[in-house]
């Protein structure tokens, strides 16, 4: 009752001040006025030479039924940026619509160098009729051939002039390529020790902690599944390379390539012990320090303890 009397009194007051119920704006009228104000503001921006975002969005919305925007209508820089995010398959499909844009040499050159970081042909004057799109197809074909038969794959690259017949060039190609099957690569490197030597020298372990350097090494050169002569060769080459990259650290810690070799084997065994579900009684930090210092007595206890912590927190060095 009290609220009803209050409304009556309020309406009388508004009528005395010149207002009426019809004078109130509805929500729909408010929206129309706001839209009108926005439209006017956009017209003012357009008159002032500014970017009419509202008009662009409205035009784009009215053309949604036409499909994806035509890249040929965009600035070339923007079109190339959009196409650079496509892989080779999608870029070939895009060339069916935008032939001139999608067949641009810069796009295919970027695809080649992002997948195969080093090829001998990159540093040569391109022959007559050279095309990076054709080169991509040849690199892809050669990689598939390598993953089936490494020797045939390397011979294919040489026959096409993509790689020079040099252990160093082959090592650089392997080091900068991630599409090669690691099992086939391991077989190839086991047979081509000259390529393996050059591949090891491409690694830079300067100022790296030993377990982290070993992980990086085994990411490029996968360790064999079983212990044997090849694993011993890998660890020996890694030990000498690690010492060559860190001469000051080796003098400070009093380490030699033989001592690093022992530490690497200890890290591999510790990795297996801590990560294998078949090992129930895991090696403790104290046991690892005792066993390692027994094999290499001049290594400090703190340094060996840091090695254990790294494997315990980060994981296997050859996973």
Please state at what angle helix 27-47 crosses helix 53-62, rounded to 10 degrees: 110
**308 lies in a domain?**
yes
For 300, phi then psi, to 5°, come to -70, 155
Q: What is the rounded CA–CA span in Å between residue 273 and residue 263?
A: 15
**186 lies in a domain?**
no
Q: Quick one: pLDDT at residue 121?
A: 95
Asked whether 274 and 311 are in contact (CB, 8 A), the reply is: yes
Please state at what angle helix 132-148 crosses helix 182-191, rounded to 10 degrees: 80
Q: Quick one: pLDDT at residue 52?
A: 54
**273 lies in a domain?**
yes
**255 lies in a domain?**
yes
Asked whether 290 and 274 are in contact (CB, 8 A), the reply is: no
- Average pLDDT by consecutive 10-residue portion of the chain (319 residues)? 45 48 44 49 45 52 57 82 88 87 89 94 89 95 97 96 96 94 94 96 95 94 85 95 94 90 94 90 93 84 94 89
Structural domain total, the chain: 1
CB atoms within 10 A of CB 84: 14
Q: What is the rounded CA–CA span in Å between residue 258 and residue 239?
A: 7
Sole residue written with tokens 């009426």: 20
Q: Quick one: pLDDT at residue 308?
A: 95
Whether 232 is a known active-site residue: answer no
Catalytic member of 226, 229, 232, 301: 226
Q: Quick one: pLDDT at residue 277?
A: 87
**274 lies in a domain?**
yes
Backbone CA torsion sign across 98, 100, 101, 104:
positive
Task: With CA atoms as reference, report the closest residue to 164 among 203, 131, 123, 205.
Answer: 123
**112 lies in a domain?**
no
pTM as predicted: 0.72
Task: Find the CATH number of the domain harbouring 282.
Answer: 1.10.1000.11
**182 lies in a domain?**
no
Q: Quick one: pLDDT at residue 223?
A: 86
**285 lies in a domain?**
yes
Asked whether 195 and 167 are in contact (CB, 8 A), the reply is: yes
Q: Quick one: pLDDT at residue 27?
A: 43
Asked whether 141 and 157 are in contact (CB, 8 A), the reply is: no
Q: Quick one: pLDDT at residue 40?
A: 52
177 Cβ neighbours under 8 A, 6+ residues apart: 115, 116, 117, 118, 143
Residue 305 structural domain = 203-314
Q: Quick one: pLDDT at residue 61?
A: 52
């Amino acid at each position: 009752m009290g609220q009803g009397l209050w409304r009556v009194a309020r309406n009388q007051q508004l009528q005395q001040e010149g207002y009426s119920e019809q004078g109130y704006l509805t929500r729909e009228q408010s929206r129309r006025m706001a839209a009108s104000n926005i439209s006017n503001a956009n017209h003012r921006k357009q008159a002032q030479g500014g970017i009419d975002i509202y008009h662009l969005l409205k035009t784009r919305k009215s053309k949604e039924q036409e499909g994806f925007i035509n890249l040929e209508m965009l600035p070339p820089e923007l079109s190339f940026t959009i196409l650079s995010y496509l892989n080779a398959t999608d870029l070939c499909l895009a060339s069916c619509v935008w032939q001139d844009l999608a067949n641009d040499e810069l796009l295919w050159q970027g695809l080649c160098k992002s997948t195969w970081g080093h090829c001998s042909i990159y540093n040569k004057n391109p022959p007559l009729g050279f095309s990076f799109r054709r080169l991509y197809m040849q690199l892809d074909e050669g990689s598939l051939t390598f993953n089936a038969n490494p020797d045939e794959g390397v011979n294919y690259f040489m026959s096409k002039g993509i790689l020079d017949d040099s252990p160093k060039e082959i090592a650089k190609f392997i080091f900068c390529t991630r599409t090669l099957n690691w099992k086939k690569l391991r077989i190839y490197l086991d047979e081509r020790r000259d390529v393996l030597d050059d591949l090891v020298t491409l690694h830079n372990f300067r100022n790296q902690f030993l377990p982290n350097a070993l992980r990086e090494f085994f990411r490029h050169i996968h360790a064999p599944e079983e212990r044997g002569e090849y694993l011993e060769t890998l660890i020996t080459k890694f030990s000498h390379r690690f010492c060559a990259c860190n001469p000051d650290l080796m003098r400070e810690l009093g380490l030699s390539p033989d001592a690093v070799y022992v530490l690497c084997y200890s890290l591999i065994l510790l990795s297996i012990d801590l990560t294998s579900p078949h090992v129930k009684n895991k090696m403790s930090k104290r046991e690892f320090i005792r066993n390692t210092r027994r094999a290499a007595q001049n290594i400090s206890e703190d340094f060996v303890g840091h090695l254990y912590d790294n494997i315990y927190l980060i994981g296997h060095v050859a996973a």
